[in-house]
Amino acid sequence: MGKIKKKYTEGASRTYITRNRAIKRLQVSLADFRRLSILKGIYPVEPRSRKKANRGSAKATTFYYSKDIQALLSEPLIAKFREHKVFLRKLQHALGKDDLTRAKTLDANRPQYSLDHLVIERYPTFVDALRDLDDALCMITLFSTMPVVRRVNKDAVDECKRLAAEFMHYVVHTRSLRKTFLSIKGIYYQADIQGQSVTWIVPYQFSQNMPRNVDFKVMATFLQFYRTLLGFVNYRLFTVSNLAYPPTIDRTLDDSAAGLGSLKIEASRIEDLVQPPAQEMAESAQNGEAAAEMKQRLRTLDKKIEAIVAAPEYESVDSGNANDDDEGDADAEQQQQQPGSVLFGRQVFFLSREVPRYSLEFVVRAFGGRLGWDRSSGGGSPYTENDSAITIQIADRPVQGHQFLNRVYVQPQWVYDCVNARRLLDFDAYLVGQPLPPHLSPFVEYADGDYVPEAAARLALAAGFEGEVTALRPEDRDKTNSESEDENGDADNVEGESADEDEVESDDDSDQESDDDEDAGDSSRAEKEYQKQLVAERSGVSYT
Instruction: Compute the average pLDDT of residues 371-383.
Output: 87
Q: What is the pLDDT of residue 433?
A: 87
Question: At 522, is the pLDDT very low, low, confident or very high (cuts 50, 70, 90)?
Answer: low
Q: What is the pLDDT of residue 445?
A: 82
Q: What is the pLDDT of residue 207?
A: 80
Q: What is the pLDDT of residue 499?
A: 43
Q: What is the pLDDT of residue 355?
A: 92
Instruction: Compute the average pLDDT of residues 94-101.
Output: 91
Helix (H) or strand (E) holding 263: strand 263-264
Buried (b) or exposed (e) across 498-525, using 16+ Cβ within 10 A?
eeeeeeeeeeeeeeeeebeeebeeebee
Beta pairing class for 370-373 and 392-394? unpaired
Greater pLDDT, 58 or 141 = 141
The helix/strand count (H/E) of the chain reads as 23, 11
Residue 60 burial (C-beta neighbours within 10 Å; 0-12, 13-18, 19+): exposed
19/45 Cα distance (integer angstroms): 11
Neighbours of 272 (CB within 10 A): 12
157/163 Cα distance (integer angstroms): 10
| Three-state DSSP state, 200 | strand
pLDDT surpassing 90 at residue 414: yes
Q: What is the pLDDT of residue 345?
A: 87
Q: What is the pLDDT of residue 519?
A: 55
Q: What is the pLDDT of residues 338-371, one digit of tens each?
A: 555 688 988 999 999 999 999 999 999 999 999 9
pTM score? 0.70
Q: What is the pLDDT of residue 390?
A: 93
pLDDT surpassing 50 at residue 56: yes
In whole numbers, what is the pLDDT of the chain averaged over residues? 78
Q: What is the pLDDT of residue 193?
A: 93
Greater pLDDT, 274 or 526 = 526
Q: Which CB contacts under 8 angstroms, 24+ apart, belong to 444-448?
A: 446/472, 448/472
Residue 299 burial (C-beta neighbours within 10 Å; 0-12, 13-18, 19+): exposed
Q: What is the pLDDT of residues 3-40, one digit of tens each?
A: 777 777 778 888 999 999 999 999 999 999 999 999 99
Q: What is the pLDDT of residue 332?
A: 44
Given a contact cutoff of 8 angstroms between Cβ atoms, the answer to whether 253 and 380 are in contact is yes
Given a contact cutoff of 8 angstroms between Cβ atoms, the answer to whether 262 and 249 are in contact is yes
Q: Percentage of the chain surpassing pLDDT 70?
A: 70
Q: Of the ranges 8-12, 130-134, 411-415, 537-541, which one carries the lowest mean pLDDT score?
A: 537-541
Helix (H) or strand (E) holding 408: strand 408-410
Neighbours of 69 (CB within 10 A): 21
Q: Which CB contacts under 8 angstroms, 24+ apart, belong to 489-494?
A: none
Question: What is the DSSP code (8-state) at residue 379?
Answer: S
Q: What is the pLDDT of residue 465?
A: 44
40/37 Cα distance (integer angstroms): 5
**Cβ-based neighbours of 224, under 8 Å, separated by 6 or more:** 39, 115
Question: What is the DSSP code (8-state) at residue 45?
Answer: B
pLDDT surpassing 60 at residue 495: no
What are the angstrom distances between the C-alpha of 21 and each of 24, 25, 35? 5, 6, 17
Question: What is the DSSP code (8-state) at residue 58?
Answer: -
| Phi/psi at 21 (5° precision) | -70, -35
Amino acid letter, residue 26: L
Q: Percentage of the chain surpassing pLDDT 90?
A: 42
pLDDT surpassing 60 at residue 407: yes
Where residue 540 falls (left for φ over 0; alpha for ψ -120 to 50; beta otherwise) is left
Q: What is the pLDDT of residues 426-453, one digit of tens each?
A: 899 899 988 999 898 889 887 777 788 8
